[in-house]
A = this chain, B = another copy of it.
Amino acid sequence: MAVTIRDVARASGVHISTVSRTFSAPHLVNPNTRSRVLAHAEELGYRPNRAARALITGRTYNIGLIVADIANPFFPPLIKAAESQARKHDHHIFVADTNEDAALEEEVVRALAKQVDGVLLVSPRMSNTLIEQLSREVPLVVVNRQIAGIPAVVMDVARGARTAVEHLTALGHRHLALLGGPRGSWTSREIRRSAAATARTAGAELTIIGPNAPTEFGGLTVAQDVLRAGATAVLAYNDLMAIGLIEGLMAAGARVPADVSVVGIDDIMLSRLTRPKLTTVATPTAAAGRAAVDMLLAHGDDRRTTAHIHLQTELVIRDSTGRGPGPHSPADPGDVNAPEGVAS
């Protein structure tokens, strides 16, 4: 049915090994022969079977990409960038969604291991130990997690969280809440650590709420907790939770940002479009996707590339944060509230 190397060999009157070399070691074949073979290959529509090739060479030209939830708007830009970068290097991408389930992550890595050159683990939920173990079975690049000896791309959320908390305390907020992310999230721990340290320095109180599902619903359901805690400003694990929280706060009669300020993390497309527009910490997701693919492909060359790439984050101030009850720092503009802010 499909055209194989044998068909091309027969048509060109050469041995299959010559056809093989025409594609994988062109300098070893006579230019005349080569062009004849290429012509016949073209005519027959021949394409080397990558799986067959991989059987011998060990290179599949495939990459596995494992994410917690494709439908979470944080991931698609990363997937898109990774796919595009991979294809630039003639690689294809397997995408798997683990539904925030650590056990499933392990299973999928193992299932994919044999048919990929490496796996990108984005925001994994499983333990470091397990990741280290898996990295002995298949080349791994981890995004949003730091593990000694494992190549990683991390976004500097700690700095992002610090900037966000400083923004809030500068606005005069003295009682902050932090909505934690899912259990097992390195990012969530980083944020908590950094936010706690920054709040302490600023002399502000910080109530931790969570872990929570990193979804709109996860934010929606803790609105009452935030109000009950008496916080006037909230930093959420991600934008989705921040948006859900705002919905929940409004439903409870609280105004954002007049009564409660909310900051998200990620700067997903949504954040510009909700009302009030969300103040958030922008994370370079596309760059992370590209960098992770690059690391994985470089990995093949020198075995022990265990570098960690750090990507900067940036606070984007929009309309969901405003003055708190305390004195605000004059350095910070007081009227960050948008004129088109939601009606009170």
Contacts and interface: CB of A to CB of B under 8 A. Distances in A.
Interface in A29-83: 47, 49-52, 54-55, 60, 62, 69-71, 73, 75-77, 79-80, 83
A54 B49 CA distance: 11
Contacts of A55: 49, 51-52, 55
Contact of A343 (B50, B270, B274, B343): B343
Contacts of A275: 274-275, 342
Contact of A80 (B49, B71, B94, B247): B71
Contact of A76 (B54, B76, B340): B76
B96 A112 contact: no
Most central of A54, A87, A92, A343 by chain B CB within 10 Å:
A92
Interface in A213-264: 216, 243, 247
Interface size class of A (residues with CB under 8 A): 35 or more
A212 interface: no
A135 interface: no
Contact of A95 (B95, B270, B342): B95
Given A274-B274, A340-B343, A51 B114 contact: yes
A115 interface: yes
A191 B70 CA distance: 28
A69 B80 contact: yes
B96 A92 contact: yes
A108 B224 CA distance: 49
Interface string A78-111: 0110011001000011111101000000001011
B71 A114 contact: no
Interface string A314-329: 0000000000000000
A12 to B, nearest CB: 20
A47 B71 CA distance: 30
A113 interface: yes
25 contacts: A2-B114, A49-B115, A50-B114, A50-B115, A51-B51, A51-B52, A51-B54, A51-B55, A51-B115, A52-B55, A55-B55, A69-B80, A70-B80, A70-B83, A71-B76, A71-B80, A73-B73, A79-B95, A84-B99, A87-B108, A93-B96, A94-B94, A95-B95, A270-B273, A343-B343
Across the A-B interface, the 3 shortest Cβ-Cβ residue pairs? A275-B275, A51-B51, A70-B80
Given A71-B76, A83-B96, 13 more contacts: A49-B114, A50-B115, A55-B55, A70-B79, A73-B269, A79-B95, A80-B97, A83-B95, A84-B99, A269-B270, A273-B274, A274-B275, A343-B343
